[in-house]
Every structure is written in C-alpha cells, then in structure tokens.
Chain A
Amino acid sequence: MDYEIVIGLECHVQLLTQSKMFCGCATDYDGAPPNTRVCPVCLGLPGALPVINRKAVEYTVITGLALHCQIAEFAKFDRKNYHYPDLAKGYQISQYDLPLTRQGWLDVEVEGQTKRVGITRVHLEEDTAKNTHLGETSLVDYNRAGVPLMEIVTEPDLRSPEEARVFASNLRRILRWIGVSTGDMEAGALRVDANISVRPQGQAKFGTKTEIKNMNSFRAVKLALEYEAQRQIDVLEHGGRIVQETRGWVEGEGRTVSQRSKEFAHDYRYFPEPDLPPLVLSSTEVERLRAQLPELPEARAERLMARYGLSQYDAGVLTGSRAVADYYEAAVAAHGNGKAVANWVSGEMFRLLRGATLEIEAVPVSPQALAELLRLVDDGTIGISVAKTVLEEMFATGQRAGEIVRAKGLTQISDQDQLRQVAADIIAANPKAVADYRGGKPTAVKFLVGQVMRATRGQANPTVASEILEQLLNESNGRQPS
C-alpha cells in the first residue's frame, strides 16, 4: 500500500535579546559558570514579579510579519503548569489562546515545486533550565531558564522529510535575516520538533501521530523523519497500531526511541498569568515595526534576478544570508556587472570562505577590493586564472589586487612578439596535437593554448595566444614545423 506522510513542525527559537524574558538577568549564559545568570524572578522565589521584555515582544511581532501572520490586537500570557525541575516556578509562562501572532505562511521549494506551508501561530514564552544527569541525582542550572523563547507552529502541511528540512532551513534563513536569532541549531538557539503521521494514500483522516525531538541539525530533521515514517509504515503493514507518544532521535544509532518518561500528564491547566497585564498592539505600533522589516529573502532574490539578470539558482545562493546579499550588491555597485560579480562571489569567494571556515561577515576582501580585481580582468591587465590566484592572495593577506599584480609581475602578456615565441616553442614540443589539428581536429588548439598558459604561469592572454597559435599552425601548414 502507498502511504502519505504528514508532518507539522514546532520550532523553538531563542531570541537575541540582552536580558531574559521577564527579568534583567543576562542571556549570555553560554560558557558562564552555572547559576550565575539567575535572580529571584527566574528562580521563582516567592514575591518576585515578572516584567515583560519589550524587545522580545517586538522581535516576535517582526517575525510574525516576516511570516505573513496576522498580529493580534490583544494578546496575553498564560501559565502552563507542570512539575519538572527545569521550571523553578512549577509553571512556564507561555501564551495559550491569545498569542501575539497567528495564521501566516512560508513558502518552501522542493524539486522545483513551490509549496505554501501554513503557520498556525508564533507565540512567546520562556526557556527552561538545563538538566544534567549524575547517577541517582540530576543537576540543575537555571542560567537558561527565562531566556526569551519564540515558538513557531506550522500546520500539518508538510508531506515529506525533505519538505520539513527545507522548511526548517528557510525559517532559519529568515530568522537570521531579520536579526531576531542566531538560528544556531547545535547551540540550541533553534530547536525543531516534529509531529509526524502516515495514512494510506487517499485517506482523508490523519493517522495517529508521534512527536519527534532531539533533531539537532537540518540533516537530522530529514533522517529522523525518514526513519520515523518508515517505522510507522512498518508497524501498520504488520497489522499494528501507532501509539501516540514522544520519541527522541538518537543520532548515533540512526533511529527514534520512545521517551515515555516525558509523558507526564498532558493537562497543563493553563490559566491567564495574573502577574502580567495583557498586551494591546495598536496598528500604529505594528506599522512602526513593519517599517523596520528589511527586504525579505524571496523578494530580494526576485529583485536580483530582475535587475542583474541572475538565474534563480544564483539569486538563491546570493540571498543565503542578508550579509551575503549586502556584500554582493555593494560589489555590484562598485563594479557594475551584476553577472560577473555573481560568478565571482558564488564561485571563488565562497570556495575561499569554505576553505577558511569563515562567514562573509569576516571576509578579508571588501566588496570594493573585489570590484578592483574584476576591473583588472576587464581591462586585460590580468587573465581569469591569474585573477583567481590574486584573489587567493588578497584573501590571505588583505592586500589590494593592484599591489599584488605589480609586486609579483603578474600583468597579462598580450604582447604579440613575446607570445609568438612561446607559441612556436609549444608547437615544436607537441607534434601530436599539431598533427591532430592538421588532421581536422580544430579543438586540438585548445590543448595548445593550455600549454601556452602553463608555460607563462597563467599570464598569457588566452585569446591572443589562441589567435597566434592558429596563425602559426596555418602558416606552417604543409611544411615542417619550425
């Protein structure tokens, strides 16, 4: 039987605020000694009162706007009650029935098909403490407790693990693009959980779902959901039934396992948080925040395609992050040729960044310096292959292209006499290629051009070299090569 996979995601996002959600404790807990970013509020001491962090609310609204959500005119916080040591208060402050934003969408493109995925809601809550297990006891560090956490819930619109992976990746791009989160999955700044079920193709009713946790990379999202879908199908094929439960992805074993311990009562007895007055968002305020929203990745990609004639692929690569897009457009502004700059940025520049494991924010070659290099190519001072070497040097030393070309004597050889001598030597040294050429294989000249380039360490102007070679080959046609 053919099965359809149905997936919805719940993404938790740590917001890039200086202070926690309801108190002034710093959020820079990473690497800090345990329990040193803690105060009476986030420790839940009696009498301590929470106060809402304005920036966290703004970031959530901005995220909602970026995800085409409706922004609530009236929102409130609620207590989600459960007993677990990662919550000092015995409840988590979250949003239940009146979240800040709801009903949006985000497009994903898989195998050339664009699909619109519904966003059910984006709400604001607080992160929990970190537990470490030590034999018969557990240790609790409250540094992370109370860090602003945004929860983004999708509709069950995803139909394959690959769609889920692409969605998560697109979401991360947007979060980083609008500057609300680092989106760092390994560091836990973006945590993607999934609800997944399968049903026979054509059946309207959803199958029983399981919730998958501990997927710490986009790759893990795909692998875990592929595994879980197959597991569910196998259970059904063998006449079994799916148990609704939480399962954790075990990366090392490549499988999901039941986390029965987490199934404490799913009755959170939500009620309005009496310590926090509700939020009323005026349209003036929402419009003020909308005005802060930068041009979003899809819109920017469209514009790059229209304005510079880029392919959809190139536009996608160059809008991988806002910093890359900014770099690209600054280089185009300095150089003028959008396509040439696109090739250099997405080709050589990305290769060098990958090699050095650097992000574009830390690139040692400014957009203006790249434009200078490309101008040296345009005016024939250096050829493409030398330009690549020069870029490597610029990347390594931070020197400008002109300085490197001068200091190393890399100026392209377009001088006819000089190249004629080299070409003659190459013809003499490669009788087979010459014979091929004369035997009716004009492409053999390409090989000879390559040899000229090699002999001149890439400095020969390949167009001029090719012309001279053909000239010499035709001149000496029928005679012994000199």
Chain B
Amino acid sequence: MPLDLATVEQVAELAKLGLTDDEKARFTEQLSAILDYAARLQTLDTSAIPATAMVGGLENVMRPDEARPSLSQADVLANAPRSHAGQFQVPAILD
C-alpha cells in the first residue's frame, strides 16, 4: 500500500517535522514499507482473539486522592529556554 506524498506531508505537519523534499521522498518509501508489513498482520484471522489494550496483565492500578508536595517554581522552570514572571515563555500562541 504505497503512501502518497500528500499523506506524508500531513503526517509531518501533525508531528511538527520540517522535512526537505529529499526526506519526503525517502520517508514515503520507508513508511510505505512499514505499512505494508502492518498490512500483512491485517490478513491474519483474529476473530477468536479478544481486543487487547495492554499486554502487562495489570488492571485497576490507582492511588488514593492525597496531595503531595510539588516541585519548587525554580525547579519547574530550570530547563525552560525562556521564562517570565514564574511562567514558561513560548512564541505567541493564539486562543
């Protein structure tokens, strides 16, 4: 199932990746190969196998509703490229 260029461009857009034309061509090929492999799995008859969200076998792992100390504001912002007035500062976003 070969991918078309437009689909690759959309995936790149969603993942916020700026790809060159060379890369787009290369990834079109590589992603198509991956999808082809997944398509082979699709041909298996799985009607007798229940849908599986997780394979660990765990369920109902929960914690009691108790507040615990958070990080200090300085620690929270320690890795921020820019901060202002105790907040992360990022390029303008519009609501």
Alpha-carbon distance A267/B7, docked complex (angstroms) = 13
**A412 → chain B closest CB, angstroms:** 55
By the criterion CB–CB under 8 Å, are B67 and A19 in contact? Answer: yes
| B90→A142 contact, CB < 8 A | no
Bound-state CA distance A265–B7 (Å) is 13
Tell me the smallest distance from the CB of B69 to a CB of chain A, in Å: 8
Q: Does B73 lie within 8 Å of A33, measured CB to CB?
A: yes
Known contacts A35-B86, A139-B84, A272-B54; is-contact A18 B66 (Cβ 8 Å): yes
B13 within 8 A of A: yes
**Bound: A43/B68 CA distance, A:** 15
Q: In the complex the two chains form, is A138's CB within 8 Å of B92's CB?
A: yes
Option from B14, B76, B89, B94 in Cβ contact (under 8 Å) with A261: B94
| Set of chain A residues within 8 Å of B82, measured between Cβ atoms | 137
Q: Do A133 and B95 contact each other (CB < 8 Å), given the known contacts A34-B86, A279-B60?
A: yes
Min C-beta distance of B9 to chain A, whole Å: 12
User: Are B76 and A142 closer than 8 Å at their CB atoms?
Assistant: yes
Residue B58 CB within 8 A of the other chain? yes
Chain A neighbourhood of B91, CB < 8 A = 136-138
Q: Is the CB of B73 within 8 A of A131?
A: no
B56 touches A277 (CB 8 A): yes
> Which residue of the partner chain, among A43, A54, A267, A274, contacts B76 with CB atoms under 8 Å?
A43
Q: Are A141 and B87 in contact (CB under 8 A)?
A: yes
Given A53-B65, A55-B65, A274 and B70 touching (CB < 8 A)? no
B64 within 8 Å of A (CB atoms): yes
B95 & A261 in contact (Cβ 8 Å cutoff): yes
The answer, yes or no, to whether A414 is at the interface (CB within 8 Å) is no
Q: Does the CB pair A25–B62 fall under 8 Å?
A: no
Chain A residues with Cβ under 8 A from B69's Cβ? Answer: 24
Q: Which of A36, A43, A54 contacts B64 (CB 8 A)?
A: A54
Q: In the complex the two chains form, is B76's CB within 8 Å of A56's CB? A: no
Partner of B62 from the list A17, A33, A54 (CB cut-off 8 Å) is A54
Mark each residue of chain B from 35 to 58: 1 if its CB lies under 8 Å from any CB of chain A, else 0.
Answer: 000000000000000000110101
Q: Report Cα–Cα, A98/B53, bound state, in Å.
A: 10
Question: For this complex, into which size category does the number of interface residues on chain B fall?
Answer: 35 or more
Q: Are A132 and B87 in contact (CB under 8 A)?
A: yes
Residue picked from B61, B67, B90, B91, most chain A C-beta under 10 Å: B67
Check A51 for interface membership: any CB of B closer than 8 A: yes
Determine the distance from Cα of A35 to Cα of B80 in the docked complex, in whole angstroms: 12
Q: Which residue of A lies closest to B86 (CB)?
A: A34
A280 within 8 Å of B (CB atoms): yes
For B13, the chain A residues whose CB sits under 8 A away are: 265
Interface centre among A56, A134, A277 (most CB of B within 10 A): A277
Say yes or no: is A57 at the interface (Cβ < 8 Å to chain B).
yes
A95 to B54, CA, bound (A): 15
Rounded to whole angstroms, the CA-CA distance of A38 and B69 in the bound complex is 9
| Measured CA separation A18–B64 after assembly (Å) | 10
B3 interfacial by beta-carbon distance below 8 Å: no
Is A320 part of the binding interface, using a Cβ–Cβ cutoff of 8 Å? no
Closest to A265 in B: B14
Known: A18-B67, A76-B53. A131 touches B62 (CB 8 A): no
Q: Tell me if B8 is interfacial: C-beta within 8 Å of chain A.
A: no
Question: Could you tell me if B93 and A52 are in contact, using CB atoms closer than 8 angstroms?
Answer: no
Residues of chain B lying within 8 A (CB to CB) of residue A28: 67
A279, B53: Cα distance in complex, Å: 11
Q: Which residue of A lies closest to B52 (CB)?
A: A272
Interface residues of A in 213-233 (CB under 8 A from B): none
Contact (Cβ within 8 A) A51 B65: no
The 4 nearest A-B residue pairs measured at CB: A24-B68, A55-B65, A261-B94, A277-B58
Q: List 9 A-B contacts (CB under 8 A).
A: A19-B66, A54-B65, A55-B64, A76-B54, A98-B53, A137-B84, A139-B89, A265-B14, A269-B14
